Amino acid sequence: MTGSDALNAVLALPVGAAVLLALLPGYRVSSWINVATSFLTLLAAASLLVLDRPVPGNYLQVDDLNIVFIVLNTFVGFTAAFFSASYIGHELETGRLTPANLRFYHAMYQIMMFGMNLALVSNNIGLMWVAVELATLSTVLMVGLYRTPEALEAAWKYFILGSVGIALALFGTILVYLAAQPVLGEGTPAMVWTNLIEAAPQFDPALLNVAFVFLLVGYGTKVGLVPFHAWLPDAHAEGPTPISAVLSGLLLNVALYAVLRFKLLMTANAEAVAPGPLMIGLGLLSLVFAAFMLYRRRDIKRLFAYSSIEHMGIIVFAFGIGGPLANFAGLLHMVMHSLTKSAIFFAVGNVAQIKGTQQLSEIRGLTQSHPMLGWGLVLAVLSIAGMPPSGVFMSEFLIVTTSFARAPVLALILVFGLLLAFGALLLRLTGVAFGKPTGENHPMTGSLLPLWLHLALIYLIGLHMPQAMVAWFQTVAAILG
Amino acid sequence: MELISNLILQGVQMILVLALAPGLTGLVRKVKARLMRKQGAPVLQPYRDLARLMRKEVVLATNASWLFRTSPYMIFAATWVAAALVPTFATGLQFSWTSDLIALVALLGSARFFLALAGMDAGTSFGGIGSSREMMIGTLAEPAMLLVVFTVALVAGSTQLSNVVVYMASGEVGIRVSMGMALIALIIVAVAENARIPVDNPGTHLEVTMVHEAMVLEYSGRHLAMIELAASLKLLLYMSLIGCIFLPWSIAPASAGPSAMLFGFASFFAKLVAGGVLLAVFEISTAKMRVFRVPDFLGVALMLGLLGTLLLFVSRSL
Amino acid sequence: MIEIAAGLALCLLALSLAAAVVRGLSTASAFVYGASALLCLVLAIVGIWMLVTQAAEAEMRIPVGLPWLGAHLRLDALSAVFLTLLGVGGAAASIYAIGYGQHEHEPHRVLPFYPGFLGAMTLVLLAADAFTFLLSWEIMSLLSWALVLTNHRADETRSAGYLYLVMAGFGTMVLLLAFGLMAGAEGGYDFAAMREVERSPLLAALVLALMMVGAGSKAGLLPLHVWLPAAHPAAPSHVSALMSGVMTKVALYGFIRVVFDLLGPVEWWMSVPVIVTGAMTAVMGILFANVDSDSKRVLAYSTIENIGVIFVALGLALAFRSNGMEALAALALMAGLIHAMNHMLFKSLLFMAAGAVLNATGRRDLDGLGGLIHRMPKTAVLALIGVTAIAALPPLNGFVSEWLLFQAVLQSPKLSQPGLQFLVPAAGGLLALAAALAAACFVRFYGVIFLGRPRTDAAREAVETDRWSLTAMGGLAGLCIMAGVLPGGLIDLVAPATEMLLAARLPAQANNDWFTLVPVAEVRSSYSGFLVLLFIAISGGASAWLVHRFASRKLRRAPAWDCGFPNADPVTQYGAGSFAQPIRRVMALMLDANETVVMPPPGDMTPARHTIRTKDLAWSRIYVPLIAAINTAATRLNALQFLTIRRYLSLVFGALILLLTGLAIWN
Amino acid sequence: MQGYAFDIAHMLAGSLVLVSFMMIYQDRIYALLNTFALQAALLALAVAWQAYTQNAPHLYATAAIALIFKAMIVPWALHRVVARMGIQRTVETVTGVVPTMLAGMGLVALSILLMLQLTEAAENALAREDLAFALSVILLGLLMMVTRRNAVTQVVGFMSLENGLILAAAGAQGMPLVVEISVAFSVLIAMIVIGVFLFRIRERFDSVDIEQLDAFRGEKR
């Protein structure tokens, strides 16, 4: 097997599975096919790490930057599929979903995975745009899966805001093409990343500037940056929980990846406006705003959705600051956030199932009534809040220390936001995990395995990062400049 | 040889303070009575009282614990040790380096601490009143006292009493505003610490304003005797402290001969008598304060102590 | 040595994991606590060995933490001093817990966190790079938070835990900033690298300020102390002992390590805030202890006081050092270190005593106790030693450190800055006030709990605590006496640390006659706890013997006299509130105290009501407005959750136009 | 030939902006739909002209889609929606027409200002002028979305925005995937129209009022 085979597999497996799943009626088989496909995709993606990389073509490529994202994407895709397989049957029993819904769900899951994988491996700004749109539209449909007024409302909001975002990103893409076209000539080559990056210094900086604004707003909507975030909390809260995990853990990363790619382009052109300050501003705004919003949340999934906004803010801030340490920290934080937030959603799914509600006020004393789940949730939330030994602590350590030495005022705002968010998360956690257990007590079907697997990984990375991963992150951090 | 003589000197000092203390209390009472145109008990009455109390049986409150019974001895011992360390008629006592001025204050603090605990032991309301007020007074008197100690120590460059006395007597000091303030502060503290008017009235019972007497209300017999003796010792201690710091003359150096010693002794005696009379006059001419006026009174001492310390720097830098 | 110490820390952490596995077994508690005690004892021995042999500093590196740096661990004299402190405190708490733990309702909420807490503290002391330091620091916070939440069903425990962890998070963030400043943008996180950097005075001042906030919030410095009186009492008593006795010292260690070791020279004026804050903390802490009526909270507030005292000592040391007077700086630092050691001893002892009382009666409110000296005689004796020590009375150990500190204060004329010359004696006066207030506080504490008559049935039926607890308390009490009577040994033990930090030390004390303490010169000052004890024992014993031998020894029991108004109801005794009344009135301004009396009209049979309210000014003036501001902001911003889609689009549109306009202008 | 081509492209793009203004000016829904149909037709013309000048036959497909789908089917469908659902016939505005027009002027000025900053390159002139107009159309479409309350007018605003995108894409010489993008957008618009219809979003995108939102989200203010 060669690298290009693996690359093709990463894309072909989900498409094939989607077709198969759309045809199969039984949800049990489907759910395990879903898991198996996701696992195979993960294997294919992981094999990219060791195999020779395929030569970048006009449409696809694998490089140091996107391989991080691909492996992470397929990994969380697999664990979420596993969680979903143990979890989603219950929704059928409670009558929230019909078998037809589930068939649609599984097919869409793979299409969504395909869209995200494609966006990550694409070597073409047009193709990337198409792929991100595909992933967005498929998640819109997933969010509205329950057909409740709330879910439809959330899906609709997501759809409208997402569409506008897509349109703006497209305009940005067109502008980049226009900037590249005089240098690289007409046609497809002027949309290929590998060409763009090389030729970027000769691009018209003014055009690049306008393009970046549109791309930042457009893809930033997907990342969930404030003030483009409005779709995110509702979409997370109203969709099926495995999808919330995928949304928070993966889709945001894919959009972030797009932003990073264009940031590279901007930095390559010396005369263009520096993307850092813009990203720093939006990052801090997202962080502080989301931190305040955490205090008034009553729905557990919406709470963690806002926490995703907050963390996206931190990551964008880190990349905005730049430099080897901050970039390293940003990458690490992104990986950790994906793993931790999806772990949290795995736990939250079970909690919502047990208690029959997502209302924070009706969930109490989980460590008492369900120790493994409760303590798992406690550890995951503490991890996301930056408590050691999770990797989030390491990334926040690096971000805060390095940014304080370079931009003290910004670091102070950062610290303020972090603390604010910490206070809010902990307040809710204390209520949910401790105290006298109250409320209903339905049986729990969802597996705790993915939750604890993620936790183990988070702690492993926090304490002893594998050498290969370090080297790889350092390379990428250097690329990001 | 020198060691033995020093030991003897130390022993004499210890016996001396013990012997003189009740007399001083008697003297103050006598003078007060005379000033009030009363006959008054003889000066030696306190000795008789002590002897009588010693012989009497102890009536112990049902609830009293071992702490109540041992406290009088501890209080007495702490006060006695403290009093023995203050130079009275001679400096350079054998064990004067055992504790300095700060430790002296703290030793008295220990005595107060155990007395207050004992006050609470019987489980009565009066004991509690006494203890809580005593601790409040101590809370303000102790820092004032330490500030005085600071002033003195900063002037003399030592907290070691013997060295302080030597320095003070040497005439290098001159007259300083700081020292005057320290003196007034020390007198206020002494009045408060010894439960004298206007802070407390040593002669009353059955009065809600009493402090010291309320604490020792449950004591009787030999226990009461020890406490009374300790109180007298404390009065003497403060007198000799004021004497040796502010009137350091004619205190015999350690190596002095018997005649100097005798002279020192005589002057010490004179200082005590003068102090006792002055105290009585002061007590007669003031009225007892409400308890919650006491902090203001002690606050004056605190301020003076602090001012004294700070002025020291001003005068030095001038 | 370092290998052993690091191994012990890891063993303790591993023990936590093991405890999580075996938590169900009936013997788990004894096993975990026993093992912790053993490991802590070895730790103490390692520390002492290091100090006694004056072994060379040792470093090691384990591949954990920041990948390109690894975890640097280092054992030097300063670490060894605090390791000793931790080892002794940890061992005592663990031995105590063997007995105390039998009464725990939910051991599985304590056991998995307890050894790890000790291990994390050990790692903090050993850490030699910023990441390892903060990692262990935060794990220490986290595990102690879990321990605080043991009794999670009580609302106040949960809010205490919440407040604690938020403040801990705040402290860590501030420390992050401090280390960020010291490491620089390139990330020189290794302590060795930090030592090399030359810093401008402004930068050094900033780091110092950040350290005061960061380490101070953990130690309980005003006004960052608010979590401490809530969190320390909420934990099980052996954990309270550890938190108050040891964890606050670990915070101090952090401060000393950075300010004295890593930061390099500081200007004299930087010592001013340290001294002022320390003195204020001391006075305010003990004032609150004087008016609080919860036994463990009183102790927690008193911890704040002691931390203030230590900070004054550290500030003095800084002042002397900036004036080039290393020997005097060593005296002040020594006072601080010795006081830290002493405070660990007596505060642990007192928390254990409070825990024993809590176990025996189920009560922490002072007004529900009383007369326990009869029911728990051994605990009462040990607690008496504890309160005497903490009230800084000779001849016990609390006085020794206080005395050393006053000696340092009295050296202030040697300082060349008039500002400091004024400030230091004033701070000394405040310290004296704090010491006197401490005496008042602990008369009340001991008197209301152990003396008098029992106020409730629970107190009436209390039974003496178990042997393990008594052993632990006895050991600590013994050490309190030892440290008070033979302070020279302790000073000589700690001296290598001051030598390492300041290149100066106190003269060796071990060979002085009669175990006398002579910090500077005999002409200046000296104190011998041993002789004081000896004299008191001899004179007290002799007088008692004489009186009993020659006067009377008759004794009769009778109802209390009480001025002729004996009242059978124990409620008429002075309680916690009434005892505090004089001080509360005198200091009403600082306590924001408020008394209301509701007196029914004549003829009305309803009881009169007297209510007292005291407020922590820091809480009501700083935290309440802050919380209110955050709440207001959160409520205002929350409106943004409920906008229509059109409005959200307007936001996007507005931001886009803003960015484009900015771009147009920028060009 | 070059100047001639430029002038015509310029005129067509400019008229698109003009029509955008006309749309903002409309206060009747039917009139608005008709105006939009006009804009779509103009777009088709502009794209076709680009196809002709650039010699890029695939752009004719885009032009055809614009003409058939956007100028005919969608307006027709929206007419039906309005009629079937009994939607109010007037356009509800947030602010008056005049302020909106003024804001629109500002947006056009901003677009031109931004695009004039591009370096003057002869071969780029066409794209540059076109871009300024396209950006204007996009921003005016967005402006329409945020200042109009009816769902239908918002859909129209979005489509107008998308017209600007297609204009830009077609104006970019040799840009691949333009057809695909226009198809993708058509699908998107179709979904929106269907959504409006299916979800009975009568008056606004956010038909549900705020009190209902509270109940929906289980969140209280």
Note which residues in 194-213 of chain B have CB less than 8 A from chain C: 205-206
Q: Which residue matches tokens 């009975």?
A: D200
CB C6 within 8 A of CB C62: yes
Judged by DSSP in three states, A60 sits in strand
- Looking at residue D220, its pLDDT comes to 42
A324-328, C7-11, C311-315, D117-121: which is most confident: C311-315
Subunit contact A404:C180, Cβ cutoff 8 A: yes
Contacts of D173 in chain A (CB under 8 A): 181, 186
Q: What is the mean pLDDT of residues D128-133?
A: 80
Say if C and D touch: at least 3 Cβ pairs within 8 Å. Answer: yes
- Give the whole-angstrom CA distance, residue A472 versus residue A257: 16
Q: Whole-angstrom distance between the N-terminal and C-terminal Cα of chain D?
A: 64
For the CA atoms of B96, B102, B105, B110, the dihedral, rounded to the nearest 10 degrees, stands at -90
Contacts of A297 in chain D (CB under 8 A): 219
Candidate from C64, C186, C637 with C-beta closest to A289: C637
The burial class, CB within 10 Å (0-12 / 13-18 / 19+), for C200 is: exposed
- Give the whole-angstrom CA distance, residue D63 versus residue D41: 9
Lowest pLDDT segment from B27-41, B251-265, C49-63, C623-637: B251-265
- Inform me whether the pLDDT recorded for C564 exceeds 80: no
Q: How far is residue C482 from each of residues A331, C515, C530, C598, measured CA to CA in Å?
A: 56, 11, 9, 51
Q: Which residue does chain A place closest to D188, by CA atoms?
A: A163
Model-wide pTM > 0.90: yes
Instruction: List Cβ neighbours of C488 (8 Å cut-off, separation of 6 or more).
Output: C509, C510, C512, C515, C516, C517
CB C614 within 8 A of CB C594: yes
| Chains contacting B (3+ CB pairs below 8 angstroms) | C
Contacts of D118 in chain A (CB under 8 A): 204, 206-207
Residues of C with CB under 8 A from a CB of D: 635, 638-639, 641-642, 644-647, 649-650, 653, 656-657, 660-661, 663-664, 667
* C634 phi-psi bin (left φ>0, alpha ψ -120 to 50, beta other): alpha
- Inform me whether the pLDDT recorded for C626 exceeds 60: yes
Subunit contact B106:C410, Cβ cutoff 8 A: no
CB A391 within 8 A of CB A379: no
Q: Whole-angstrom distance between the N-terminal and C-terminal Cα of chain B?
A: 48
- Looking at residue C212, its pLDDT comes to 93
Most C CBs within 10 Å: which of D131, D146, D204, as the mutation test of the C interface? D146
Q: What is the total residue count of chain D? A: 221
Q: Does C512 touch chain B (CB under 8 A)?
A: no
Looking at residue B251, the DSSP 8-state letter turns out to be: P
- Inform me whether the pLDDT recorded for D208 exceeds 50: no
Judged by DSSP in three states, C610 sits in strand
Q: How far is residue C543 from each of residues B225, C530, D39, measured CA to CA in Å?
A: 11, 20, 115
- Inform me whether the pLDDT recorded for C581 exceeds 90: no
Contacts of C543 in chain B (CB under 8 A): 73, 76-77, 80, 226
Q: pLDDT band at residue C282, thresholds of 50, 70 and 90?
A: very high
Subunit contact D107:C639, Cβ cutoff 8 A: no
Subunit contact D146:C649, Cβ cutoff 8 A: yes
Q: Does C560 touch chain A (CB under 8 A)?
A: no
- Looking at residue D216, its pLDDT comes to 45
Chain CA centroid to CA B32, Å: 19
Candidate from A133, A181, A204 with C-beta closest to D173: A181
Whole-number average pLDDT of chain A: 88
Query: Token digits for D125?
Result: 């002139």
What are the start-end ranges of the H helices in chain B? 2-35, 45-55, 66-85, 101-121, 125-156, 161-169, 177-193, 212-215, 221-246, 258-285, 294-317
- Inform me whether the pLDDT recorded for D209 exceeds 70: no
- Inform me whether the pLDDT recorded for C365 exceeds 80: yes
- Inform me whether the pLDDT recorded for C389 exceeds 90: yes
- Residue B78: domain span: 2-141+196-288
Contacts of C645 in chain D (CB under 8 A): 204-206
Lowest pLDDT segment from B90-94, C166-170, D35-39: B90-94
Q: What is the mean pLDDT of residues A77-95?
A: 86
Helix then strand then coil, % of chain C, to nearest 5: 75, 5, 20
Subunit contact A157:C158, Cβ cutoff 8 A: no
Question: What does the pLDDT look like over C264-274, one tens digit per residue?
Answer: 888 888 899 99
- Inform me whether the pLDDT recorded for D197 exceeds 70: no
Task: Choose among A347, A411, A330, A334: nearest CA to A382.
Answer: A347
Judged by DSSP in three states, D103 sits in helix
Q: How far is residue C547 from each of residues A391, C554, D115, measured CA to CA in Å?
A: 73, 11, 108
CB C259 within 8 A of CB C178: no
Candidate from A170, A182, A207 with C-beta closest to D165: A170
CA distance A338 to chain D (A): 25
Q: Which residue does chain D place closest to C634, by CA atoms?
A: D221
| Boundaries of every domain in chain A | 274-481
Task: Choose among C164, C32, C35, C165: nearest CA to C108.
Answer: C32
The CA R_g of chain C, rounded to the nearest whole Å, is: 27
Most B CBs within 10 Å: which of C579, C584, C587, as the mutation test of the B interface? C579
Q: What is the mean pLDDT of residues C54-65?
A: 85
Counting the structural domains of chain B, the total is 1
Half-sphere exposure of C266 (CA within 13 A, CB side): 29
CB A132 within 8 A of CB A219: yes
User: Which is more confident, D5 or C112?
Assistant: C112
- Looking at residue D127, its pLDDT comes to 66
- Inform me whether the pLDDT recorded for D201 exceeds 60: no
Judged by DSSP in three states, C59 sits in strand
Q: Does A427 touch chain D (CB under 8 A)?
A: no
Q: What is the mean pLDDT of residues A228-254?
A: 89
Note which residues in 171-210 of chain C have CB less than 8 A from chain A: 173-174, 176-177, 179-181, 183-187, 189
Instruction: List Cβ neighbours of D141 (8 Å cut-off, separation of 6 or more).
Output: D20, D157, D158, D159, D160, D161, D162, D163, D164
Percent of chain B with pLDDT over 90: 25
Most D CBs within 10 Å: which of A152, A159, A207, A231, as the mutation test of the D interface? A207
- Looking at residue D93, its pLDDT comes to 74
Judged by DSSP in three states, A292 sits in helix
- Inform me whether the pLDDT recorded for D205 exceeds 50: no
Contacts of D167 in chain A (CB under 8 A): none
Subunit contact A295:C634, Cβ cutoff 8 A: yes
| Boundaries of every domain in chain D | 2-217
CA distance A57 to chain C (A): 34
Lowest pLDDT segment from A403-417, C401-415, C451-465, D2-16: D2-16
CA distance B283 to chain C (A): 24
Subunit contact A160:C667, Cβ cutoff 8 A: no
Question: What does the pLDDT look like over A144-176, one tens digit per residue?
Answer: 888 887 888 888 888 888 889 989 999 999 888
Q: How many CB atoms within 10 Å of residue D120?
A: 8
Contacts of C573 in chain B (CB under 8 A): 120, 123-125, 128
| Chains contacting D (3+ CB pairs below 8 angstroms) | A, C
- Looking at residue B317, its pLDDT comes to 43
Half-sphere exposure of C327 (CA within 13 A, CB side): 8
- Looking at residue A407, its pLDDT comes to 87
CB B135 within 8 A of CB C583: yes
Q: pLDDT band at residue B114, thresholds of 50, 70 and 90?
A: very high
| Boundaries of every domain in chain C | 569-613, 621-666
Question: What does the pLDDT look like over A434-446, one tens digit per residue?
Answer: 888 887 788 777 7
Q: What is the mean pLDDT of residues C527-550?
A: 88
- Give the whole-angstrom CA distance, residue B219 versus residue B60: 7
Q: pLDDT band at residue C174, thresholds of 50, 70 and 90?
A: very high
User: Which is more confident, A68 or D89?
Assistant: A68
- Give the whole-angstrom CA distance, residue C311 versus residue A264: 50
Question: Amino acid identity, residue A383?
Answer: S
**Does residue B119 lie within any of the structural domains?**
yes
- Inform me whether the pLDDT recorded for C529 exceeds 60: yes
Subunit contact D204:C661, Cβ cutoff 8 A: no
Strand C555-558 to B58-61 pairing: parallel
Q: Taken in order D76, D79, D85, D87, is the CA torsion positive or negative?
A: positive
User: Which is more confident, A443 or C46?
Assistant: C46
CA distance B277 to chain C (A): 30
- Inform me whether the pLDDT recorded for B70 exceeds 50: yes
Q: pLDDT band at residue D207, thresholds of 50, 70 and 90?
A: very low
C304-307, Cβ contacts within 8 angstroms, sequence gap of 24 or more: C304/C220, C304/C221, C304/C222, C304/C225, C304/C228, C304/C229, C305/C281, C305/C434, C305/C437, C305/C438, C306/C282, C306/C339, C306/C343, C306/C347, C306/C390, C307/C219, C307/C220, C307/C221, C307/C248, C307/C252, C307/C278, C307/C281
